[in-house]
Amino acid sequence: MKFSVKNIDKCRRKIEIKIPSSDVTNEKVKAVSIYAKHANIPGFRKGKAPLNVVEKKYNKEIINDVKEQLLPMFYQKAIKESELKVVNVIECSEINISSDLSATFDVTIDIYPKFKLPKYTDISISTTLDEVTEKDIDEQIENLLNQFSTYEVMNEKKIEFGDMGQLEYEAFIDGQALRDVIPESKGLASGKDYWVSADEHSFIPDMGHKIIGLSVDDEKEIEITFPKSFMINQLSEKKVTYKVKIQSIKIKIKAKLDDDLLKKIQVESIEQLKEIFRDQLNQQAKNKELSEKHEQIISYLLKKTKIDVPESSVQQQTREMMYTLARQKMMAGASQNDLSNDQEKLLIEAKEKALENVKLKFIGLSIADEQNFTVADHEIDAEIAQIAYQQKKKPEEVKSEMEKNSTLESVEEQIKFNKALEFMIEKSKNK
């Protein structure tokens, strides 16, 4: 076998492979023998026809089988001898078998980038570990009491901060019904029996604050200015007039921190409750500090590393990121029409994030390799178990799907990357 490697760009190569006639002939002989054992040819008993007769009758099929055998065999051989580390196979040509039975084909691949790692130990980072105070614990207790609070109808009063108002409403923009101007507005355009809390932002921005002081059967025109980043693009920074009628009012009956509540949440005492909250807040503080360390190290690596990455990896990651961003926006209430109108902006955002992710992947893996980090089977199993828990599937089911989709390697890569990140944090120094 002979092969040559041509550089297309920094991470893309074209391998031109020539297979000698002897290897093609050997594979052809094997294929003819297999066909001869099972061939049904008139004038001959099954499996007894001469090889030349079998070859003539099944020539097309035999040649196709030979090609199927030769391509992966010599592709793998060329990759091994070239010592290229393949990321993705971009294109593979059909094998061309010439009259002298030599064969040629070429494969275009993307390879792992070659780059110089920056210094990744003794990185200066600046983080703070938030101190948990008694005030923080009191706030957690207050939140708990709010969770267990109930509401009681009280229609003889005006809405105050903390109350709930039941609304009937219709929205207008420039004198026209919002539903006619922006059909995607749906529940924002009109509604009935809609409860709004007067102490927080609601589905309709700032509506809760603007109904304070109103009584049952009061009617009022309320002007709402939608924020710039609102999920429905057409409403961004738009002024909308709401005709609102108060249908009913509820007041909050705040829960008491007594034995009944402690029993409900399965806590023996107030002191134990405070200790639980203290532990939770301390863990949150540690997680926040760790997240800050991650962000600073990632920022450092991206800034200090000059790296060209395979375009195919960026494209693949961009597709995945597009799906993730679109799903997030739809969960936030965006419509298909919103996504279509925002597609170009979404693509730019997805590609930027994808490029960063791909760069970080190769940087992290390179550090892991340099430090000889390995991944044990039990670590992969633990990661798969976590994924399975999130997807509400059995671990063996997830593992089978990954093996089928050839994505199991990505789990190992993620573990290696995490080890590299942990290593850099351990070796970092605080400013």
Cβ–Cβ < 8 Å for 221, 243 = yes
The CA distance from 336 to 342, in Å, is 10
pLDDT above 90 as % of the chain: 78
For residue 121, is it within any domain? no
In a domain, 93, yes or no: yes
The count of other CB atoms within 10 Å of the CB of residue 367 is 22
Q: Of all helices (H) and strands (E), which one includes residue 387? A: helix 377-391
Q: What angle do CA 411, 415, 420 make, to 5 degrees?
A: 145
The domain boundary, picked from 53, 85, 111, lies at 111
**Structure-token pair, residue 42:** 């008139």
Predicted local distance difference test score (pLDDT) of residue 224: 93
Q: Which domain holds residue 389?
A: 287-430
Of 210, 230, 253, the domain-final residue:
253
User: What pLDDT score does 186 carry?
Assistant: 82
Residues 118-143 pLDDT 10s: 999 999 999 889 999 999 999 999 99
Clarify whether residues 425 and 300 are in a common domain: yes
Inform me whether the pLDDT recorded for 57 exceeds 80: yes
CA distance 136 to 113: 48
Question: pLDDT band for position 333 (50/70/90)?
Answer: low
The 10s digit of each residue's pLDDT in 99-116 is 899 999 999 999 999 999
Weakest-pLDDT range from 83-92, 101-110, 321-330, 408-417: 321-330
The enclosing domain of 78 has a CATH number of 3.30.70.1050
